[in-house]
Structure 1
Amino acid sequence: TYSNYVRDKGWGVGSQVGAIPSAIGGRDITLSHVGKVFALTPANMERWKGWWKYIITDQVLIWGPGCVMGMALPALLSIEFAEHSPMFGDPDRPDYAQAIITADGMRHDPSLSARWQKLLWIGTLLVGLLVLLPSQMSIVEHFSRRWTDVIWSGIRRVRETMQPHEVRKIYYSILFLYVGWTFLGAFLFQTFGQPKLMVLVVANLNNIGLGFTAFFVLRNNLVYLPPALRPGWLARIGISFCGIFYLGFAGLVFYQKQLPLLLGLFK
């Protein structure tokens, strides 16, 4: 996310490589097939360390606490209000009930007035929607951008035949295919399986992707970066544990949640 933002804004070395242009527009924006490397001078190394200070400050003071609060607050609200919902503990409740059970609990909480019940019911659903939509849009954009970068820089034929302004063709093709596949996948799971299974499969595929990406990034940083820019041992251990955690978590979810559902489809 930081790399994308910096590159698109033209900060630092991002001003030397360009950005992915919009699908429709008159601005002449191009993207280089190869990246740029700054000279390892004392002045540039000071700037490099300065960038890391910004990133670490954001991760420690903003992103990290924000993630904890973002996970803790919905959990605390569920503990407080979910038990008031008629769907709470009902084995026959629909698959989508988990997403609305907290709001439904607020709507049926006897300690609240009818006005507050209705207000919190609508407000909680709207907040959930406002959280879901930007998150999903970010996932779609990141997926399209990652594969665009891989194809744009990693495939020799693309580097040799496509002009710098043609990167939009790859990016928006991937974007539209991803959105189309999403609708097709939703239709198939809704028709032949369960919506809950689709959520589990997609979420667990993200775990697998994060796990392999951690080791892929570590390998690239250790092979292609100059020794002065390579991550230290603490960062290497952290990235390795990240990969082990997500791959291990993906294996547990598949064995305990997905495999029984998949086997149930063939019974």
Structure 2
Amino acid sequence: MVALIVLFLIYAAVALLGLDGYAALGRGFVELDKVPDAVTQIPIATLLGAVAFAGAGGALNLVQSNWVRDKGLGMGSRLPKIVSPFTGEEIAAPTTGYFFRRDEENMRRWRGWWRVADREQFFTFFVIGAFALLVLMTLTYVTVGTGGEAESFDFIKLEGEALKEKNSVLGAIFWLIGAVVLYSTNLAVLDMVGRVTADVLKIGPLRENDRWSESRLYFTVVWLEIAFGSLILLSGMDQPLVLLVIASSLNGLVMFVYSVLLIQLNRGMLPREIRVSGGRLGALMWAVVFYGGFSAVLLWDQVGQLVE
């Protein structure tokens, strides 16, 4: 799925955007005086949700360490992993692990695997994510434009129809890739919630429980998510954009909370040699201020609407 998405993005960047598209993209980086006017037209909840969901946002950031562990990087190779309940060997032990001696050799190995994890996240999350956002945003601009009256996800239909005018196959390919993007995103969200929930339960209330391994908890949570989502759809809910705005804006609030907790946990429990510092600590502190302020404005706005 990722390969299909990347191939379409490359094709769009080369063949569909055109000089006008790149010119508009360039102007977007320098015409900062127009940003405030544009922002005022977007509801606070939608704007916070868009910021939280940009790239791999929200709680997806929390599961990165679980993916590193399950790939066997660093000390993750010594911890229980999530395995298939049908083909893998379940281990009921919690994944709390232990500290290593901070001698020269161990620190050299630590820095080595950390570089691997760091580069993987940089290229797969930031570089590919930024490329995808810029290409799809510019493609929407050159096909649909701005100032339209399309509501909800109607702009995707309009964009596909505009591409069909260029080539009868392009519209179908665009809708197919869009479905793949949304499907893969939802798979990632299901996986993230399952992993984080299973991790928290196993190192907390079910730490000494030999019956419930993290793998079993993971698959139970995932299927409960699927069942709950199916119930929502079967109940007749026909406003997907409303659900998306609710979920994404709540993720902004979650990012504020977990940024505070990450600083407290990292600075309070990890050894000095491996705790977060420098630019990373500054980024976490900025996240606390940014998402905290945004969340406060959102809550104030919602309270004001209720009072009215």
TM-score (norm 2): 0.69
Q: Which residue of 1 aligns with 2:76?
A: 14
Alignment CA distance shift 1:70-1:197 (3 Å)? same
Determine if the alignment matches structure 1 residue 174 to structure 2 residue 221. Answer: yes
Structure 1 counterpart of 2:157: 100
Q: Within 5 Å, which residues of 2 pair with 1:1-267?
A: 1-25=63-87, 27-33=88-94, 34-61=96-123, 63-83=125-145, 89-90=148-149, 93=150, 95-107=152-164, 109=165, 112=166, 116=167, 118-155=168-205, 158-163=206-211, 166-187=213-234, 190=237, 194-252=239-297
How far off its partner does 1:11 sit? 3.5
CA contact (8 A) 2:259 2:287 kept: yes
| Counterpart-to-counterpart distance in 2, 1:145 and 1:198 | 22
**Larger CA deviation: 232-241 vs 145-154:** 232-241
Measured against aligned partners, the alpha-carbon deviations of 1:184-223 in whole angstroms (never above 9, x if no partner) come to 33455726xx332111101112222222122211211111
Q: Secondary structure at the match of 1:13?
A: helix
Partner amino acid, structure 2, of 1:227: R
Q: Which amino acid aligns with 1:183?
A: S
The answer to which structure, 1 or 2, has the higher relative contact order (CA under 8 A, 6+ apart) is: 2
Give the CA RMSD over aligned residues: 2.8
Q: Which moved more, 1:142-151 or 1:64-73?
A: 64-73
Distance across 1 between alignment mates of 2:241 and 2:124: 32
CA contact (8 A) 1:144 1:174 kept: yes
* 1:8–1:14 Cα contact (<8 Å) kept: yes
Pairs aligned (count) = 244
Q: Percent identity, please.
A: 21
In the alignment, structure 1 segments of 5+ residues that lack a partner are none
Unmatched tracts of structure 2, length 5 or more? 1-62
Q: Counterpart amino acid of 1:226?
A: P
- Identify if the C-alpha distance between structure 1 residues 228 and 159 changes in structure 2 by more than 3 Å, giving closer, same or farther: same
In the TM superposition, what is the alpha-carbon distance from 1:5 to its structure 2 partner? 3.0
Alignment deviations for residues 220-251 of structure 1 (CA, whole Å, 9 cap, x no partner): 11111112211113221111212332343445
Deviation at 1:41, TM superposition (A): 1.4
Structure 1 residue identity aligned to 2:253: I
Distance 2:123 2:81 in 1: 29
Is contact 1:8–1:20 with CA below 8 Å preserved after alignment?
Answer: yes
Question: Contact between 1:16 and 1:36, CA under 8 Å: does it hold in 2?
Answer: no
Deviation sequence 1:78-108 (CA, Å, 0-9, x none): 1100149xxx723xx553313333212223x
TM value normalised by structure 1: 0.79
Kindly provide the amino acid, as one letter, of the partner of residue 70 in structure 2.
D
Contact 1:186 1:198 survives alignment (8 Å)? no
Deviates more, 1:210-219 or 1:69-78: 210-219
3-state DSSP of counterpart to 2:273: helix
